[in-house]
Chain A
Amino acid sequence: MITKRIIPCLDVRNGRVVKGVNFEGLSDVSSPVELGKYYSDNGADELVFYDITASAEGRALFTDILTEVAKTIFIPLTVGGGINTLEDFDRVLKCGADKVSVNSGAIRNPDLITQAAKKYGDQCVVLSADVKRVNGVYRVFAKGGRENTGMEAIRWIKSCVERGAGEVVLNSIDTDGVKGGFDLEMLDAVCNVVNVPVIASGGAGCKEDFITLFNTLPKVDAGLAASIFHFGEVEIADLKKTLQENGINVRL
């Protein structure tokens, strides 16, 4: 059967990997090419590459660094950040991406998902949603978590899947960077309304958080994290061994 996936995320700015707490206060971590290769060689099931500032700065994603990353890794690669048009899809796919993640671009123009799914297939289109509770309601945020769109998140995610998004990355702004565990409540709400893979993002602080994630929510397909992997607090190979010991099906 299909394994649960562990996915390190490279948030890239100016060609370097960065990771902020609650998306602010960015600090330099390392070279995306070196980190990507390290992860590809050391048990990561997939790599996500976000040009986190592309959308806020209104420019296209850096494709030269992306090409370098794609050349050195031999696991699936998802790319996002500043994806607004079918031409953007085409450009990053030609650089070696397997899937393309849309966020602000889909909020501005939901039809982007429909068109991309038709042209490249559902499996190629990943919806990335930044979600935060505002007065007890899940709201979708745009531009790297900077702007409240006012849209109700669960309904938004469901509509994107109906348009052809083949996978959902759910980033909880509430738990991101806090390292207190994934946002199980928010994830459960999303899993209940979609029948495509859901990737949990935001909040992982230790190995136990992944065990809790997969044991509590068997419908979640993957766990994504950045800083705990980049700083070596959690080694992916060690994490997967622990998951297996806890009866969770992973690729070793």
Chain B
Amino acid sequence: MPKKTTRRTNNNSTSATTASSTNPIPTARPKNIQHPQEDYKPGFHVQEKSVFKTQKGLSEDVVRQISAHKNEPTWMTDFRLKAYATFLKKRMPPWGADLSTINFDDIYYYLKPVNQQGRTWNDIPDEIKSTFDRLGIPQAERRYLAGVGAQYESEVVYHSISKHLEDKGVIFMDTDQALHKHPEIFRKYFSTIVPPADNKFAALNSAVWSGGTFLYVPAGVHVELPLQAYFRINAEKMGQFERTLIIAEEGSSVHYVEGCSAPSYSSESLHSAVVEIVVKKGARVQYTTIQNWDKKVYNLVTKRAQAFQDATMFWLDGNLGSKITMKYPSVYLMEPGARAEILSLAFASDGQHQDAGGKAIHVAPNTTSRIISRSISKRSGRSSYRGTLEVHRGATGVKSHVVCDALLLDKESRSDTYPTMKVEEASATVEHEATVRKISEEQLFYLQSRGLTEDAARGMIVNGFVEPIVKELPMEYAVEMNRLIEMEMEGSIG
């Protein structure tokens, strides 16, 4: 029998984790990190403009149009059409969040906003540039990023990478361009990690994918500063289907950050991305997501990485926005010494369902995984942890530690845990802990007795709850994350 400990507690004040960070949560915004726009509201929108748009709904013809419009090689057109057939055949997932309200016929699958991608922000039409200005992307690029990609609707409208990384052979461009410019690397890896038949939404993405990030880091190259991509849906009833492919060669390292947002509309949009990552021997990839889609967006994403010998794959997945998110970043631990870290943070406010978690598949011996999930539910918000841990036969000496903690802000809110474990090796050390907490009256009183208002006390306790995740973020993003949480906390009393 595998050594397995399962612990469940319902406790108001004790925590299962030890937070002994030397990096306290910043309560105030540090002076040197000014958010560029104090009136920042991710829900704003500008008038829709497009140079090309497919008709509403999806058909073989629409798939062909997208491929033709992108001048793709025949193999890609065929790949798309095959994926479309798979999409039609696949059933909706019978588990997880309620997706019955998605109307696939009421969505635009491809919308090209500009003819030409910009190399500088001045190349970009004003209304699009101003959107990214308001989101603070160019400012962030100047201050602390090694490269930036910006996708607007279906296409990447801006891409840049610092010269010294380009000189070292780092490739950072949108995925469409990579198909044309680096066909040999592209074809070697594309859809090998997430095949179209994996699930209905992977098939959909494979049929209509557009944009996304292609990142190739040559052996031994360490990208010191983060590379960031920002995904923006502006048009109504829009589907965004970016496709991201990251390859970290032996002994390299990189941190990739994605952010996303959309305007507030009365109708729903669909975001369904596929992310594939290959982490070769001794390499390290961190993939950080700060998802802040509008609360009408379905966010159904497949993210998966393969980690080889002594490699580390680190997912940090923050989900604050969207109507429904279903996303379980996965790591396949393919060779001895590989390591997976999956940290996820979910905030489900009124009407939202965050169905998130992680998967670690231990294929090889002496591999380790750590999955930490923290979720907050408010009012009718519901957060679910859904995780899979597999230890395959022959994968001896595996260590895995899964901790999921849920914080309920009121009586109405809801949290569930769906852990799946399949352990076929007796030598595996597998730990699973789950806690559900509430903010206790005593904790609130304690902080209030120091001078904090009830709101401030509550906010501080929530910030403390997410601290184990937030402390893994670079300073700038930690500030952003705390700010987004504060926005979600507004009016949470009562």
Q: Note whether A and B form a binding pair.
A: no
Identify the A interface with B (CB < 8 A): none
Q: Which B residues are closer than 8 A to A by beta carbons?
A: none
